[in-house]
Structures are given as structure tokens and as C-alpha cells.
Amino acid sequence: MLFPLGIVLLAVAGFALTAELNRWLVFLCGVGYLGLLDDLAGGSARGWRGHARAVANRELSTGAIKAVGTLAFAAYAASGEDASAPLYVAEVLVLALAAHAGNLLDTRPGRAEKALALTAAIVCLASRSLEPLGPIAVLIPVVAACSWLTLRERAMLGDTGASLIGGMIGVLLVTTLSPLGIGVALAGLIAISLYGEFRSISAAMDSRLILRRLDALGRVD
């Protein structure tokens, strides 16, 4: 089944109740709905190469629409930062590629949620506060509740939830990292995206004991 649409609707509610319009929630709502489009109308094309072939053959590719839309929402969200042109481009790419990485990770129950939890733990420990969670705070309770369902295989994230969770990781990265850190994160996300395009991330994790145990943590078979 699809990742509950309520996670996106809660973001809309949080956006409406926020005193100052929050561009990060606009980005997260945007990538969530783009994922929903792919869930509802997506064809058989998979990966960048598959969607590129579909576009070349003049076929409707929801993946291509999602990619362009994600970049547009990322460009809007990052535009509020006082940053140089290279840093701005890096932030846009980190946001977009993180949303894509969420989909690459969502091949096992709970994996995307654990990636978000790990990222959140690292940035909070580094800053010694919970302040980095501010931009995504309204979504955290829903992600936690839904992870309980996905780990028990009672629900699936779908592209809706995976894109949204990946987007949340991207927001955490661009709002907490230094320019150098953003560059490193961008390089890592590019590497993950390229690896996921040609190889199996699940196979890579299964081949390493620590990653395999982390991947299985909390899962109820």
C-alpha cells in the first residue's frame, strides 16, 4: 500500500500553523506529492536511464516530472539562504539528490527511516542541541508512527514517503553543515546515486555484517 498520505497532509497543516511561512515545508510537501504522482501514475521505467529512454521515446515519464519538479522545489527552498552561487547550487543538488536517495534506500522495510534517524542523531550530537530538527519537527511524529508500520510490513512508504523522508535528510544536511560539509555531502550523495543506478545497495549492505545487522534492526519478520 502507499505510504499514508497523512504524512504530507500533516506537513501542510504544520505549514499553515507556522507564524512564518516555512520554505522547507514547501519543499517537503512538494517532493511528497511528486512521489505520490509517481506512485499513482508511474510506468515501468526505473532509474535515470529508464526514464531518459522513456523521454527519448516521447513517452510520459512521471520519474522525469518528479526529477524536474524536485529540482524546482529545491531551488525555491535554497533561495532563502544567503549563499554564494556555487554554494547555492550545491544546496539545491543536495536537497534533490537526498530525496532521490530516499527512494534508493526504500527497498527494505524501515531502511529510509533509519537513515533519517541516523542523520538526525549525528547533526544533533554535533550541535549538542535539538535545534537542527526545527525545520522537520512537524513531520517527525508521523515518520516515527509510520516506521512502526513499515518495520512490521503492514505498510509501505512508496515513492511518496521515501521521497519525503529523503527530502527531510536533505533539509537536515543543508541547514546544519558548513559549506565544506555540504560539498562532502554532495559528493557522497552523487556516489550513492551512481552506485544505486548500476549496482544493488541491498546487496552491498548484506555483504557487510554491521550494515546487515543495522538494516535488520527493529524489523519484525
How large a percentage of the chain has pLDDT more than 70? Answer: 78
Domain count, the chain: 1
Give CA 173 to chain center in angstroms: 11
In a domain, 1, yes or no: no
The residue range of the domain holding 101 is 6-216
Distance, in Å, from the CA atom of 182 to the CA atom of 4, rounded to the nearest integer, reads: 31
Neighbouring C-beta atoms of residue 124, cutoff 10 Å: 16
In a domain, 77, yes or no: yes
Distance, in Å, from the CA atom of 146 to the CA atom of 149, rounded to the nearest integer, reads: 5
In a domain, 131, yes or no: yes
Out of 17-26, 71-80, 162-171, 193-202, the most confident range is 162-171
Distance, in Å, from the CA atom of 104 to the CA atom of 174, rounded to the nearest integer, reads: 20
Higher pLDDT, 46 or 83: 83
